[in-house]
Amino acid sequence: MLKKELRANGLLAVIFLGVVTLYGSMITNMFDPKLGDSLNAMMETMPELFAAFGMSNPGASLTQFLANYLYGFLLIALPLVMILLLVQRLLIRYTDRGAMAWLLASPTPRWKLVLTQAFVLVAAVVLLVGYMTGLCSVLAEVLFPGELELDRFALVNLGDLGLLLFFAGLCFCSACLFQSSGPALWVGGGLSVAFLLLDMLAGVGEQAEFLRWFTPVTLYDPVVLANGENVLPLVGLYLGAVVLFAAGMVVFTRRDICV
């Protein structure tokens, strides 16, 4: 089952690796300390727009630049799309196509089946973040030797991974909880998108800043992590991810599944 799912979803993972390679290479190559004044001038003309996408502080170092322009929005939104597609392929489509009956009738225990699907989902997220960490580190060393603070950049990626695993756990739990394909996909997916939008709105101005209290995205601040500060909130994201995945597995193994 594990080999089957890895083969079946390998192409999807490769496609997203290609997409993030494009954006990662392009944004890393854009770094130039001399452009700081120009970027600040652009932000002054559209401060709300830049703030909404987490780009209100370009930073003086390459680490801060990548944290702001790459990890502030792109490396949250793009992997979230991959997570939604994987959850649909790993869990929801089997019920829609009636294949769940065949899976449940196999000698494989139900807990092992759902654990395998969770492992594939987590592995894809870890692969994507790990790949981006390596790619940007190599590009930075080639293009701007010594500019990237590897320890702080690792913290940024650790935070990104925690947030994405939280979203993956939320979508996974939703898929295990609901029988119908619509709620199964979009309760978790819709909440994830809503959390991201709330964080974007909270960054627009002081009047909307209270919205940060209603989204777990607040626990992940790539710019703060790029400064080597406030690592503790990441623990909440990882614990939340563990709880959501565990809850999804328990629900899947205990509930009646219409086949």
Once rounded to an integer, what is the mean pLDDT over residues 57-71? 84
User: Does the pLDDT value for residue 215 go beyond 70?
Assistant: yes
Q: Quote the CA–CA distance of 226 and 151 in Å, as a whole number.
A: 9
pLDDT at 99: 61
pLDDT band of 250, cuts 50, 70, 90: very high
pLDDT at 3: 81
Average pLDDT, the chain: 87
Q: What is the pLDDT of residues 117-150, one digit of tens each?
A: 999 999 999 999 999 999 999 999 999 999 999 9
pLDDT at 49: 59
Neighbours of 256 (CB within 10 A): 6
CA-angle at 77, arms to 76 and 82, nearest 5° = 100
* 248, 111 contact by CB (below 8 A): no
Once rounded to an integer, what is the mean pLDDT over residues 30-37? 69
b or e along 68-84 (b: 16 or more beta carbons within 10 Å of the residue's beta carbon)?
bbbbbbbbbebbbebbb
b or e along 148-161 (b: 16 or more beta carbons within 10 Å of the residue's beta carbon)?
bbeebbebbbbbbb
Specify the range with the lowest mean pLDDT, choosing from 35-44, 62-71, 145-154, 217-226.
35-44
User: Does the pLDDT value for residue 51 go beyond 70?
Assistant: no
The contacts of residue 145 (CB under 8 Å, 6+ apart) are: none
Q: Quote the CA–CA distance of 94 and 100 in Å, as a whole number.
A: 5
Neighbours of 12 (CB within 10 A): 14
Specify the range with the lowest mean pLDDT, choosing from 20-34, 47-61, 222-236.
47-61
b or e along 167-191 (b: 16 or more beta carbons within 10 Å of the residue's beta carbon)?
bbbbbbbbbbbbeeeeebbbbbbeb
pTM value? 0.89
Once rounded to an integer, what is the mean pLDDT over residues 223-250? 94
pLDDT at 108: 74
The domain segmentation of the chain, as residue ranges, is 2-254
Q: What is the pLDDT of residues 167-213, one digit of tens each?
A: 999 999 999 998 888 888 889 999 999 999 999 888 777 788 888 89
pLDDT at 40: 60
Q: Report the candidate in 181, 154, 155, 184 with the shortest Cα–Cα distance to residue 170.
A: 184
The contacts of residue 43 (CB under 8 Å, 6+ apart) are: 50, 55, 56, 58
Percent of the chain past pLDDT 90, that is, above it, reads: 59
Output Rg (C-alpha) for the chain, integer angstroms.
Answer: 20
* 84, 93 contact by CB (below 8 A): no
Taking every pair of Cα atoms in the chain, the longest distance, rounded to a whole number of angstroms, is: 64
Instruction: Retrieve residue 49's tokens.
Output: 């727009």
Half-sphere exposure of 113 (CA within 13 A, CB side): 18
pLDDT band of 237, cuts 50, 70, 90: very high
User: Does the pLDDT value for residue 39 go beyond 70?
Assistant: no
* 91, 175 contact by CB (below 8 A): yes
pLDDT band of 2, cuts 50, 70, 90: confident
* SS3 annotation, 67-84: HHHCCCCHHHHHHHHHHH
* 120, 247 contact by CB (below 8 A): no
User: Does the pLDDT value for residue 52 go beyond 60?
Assistant: no
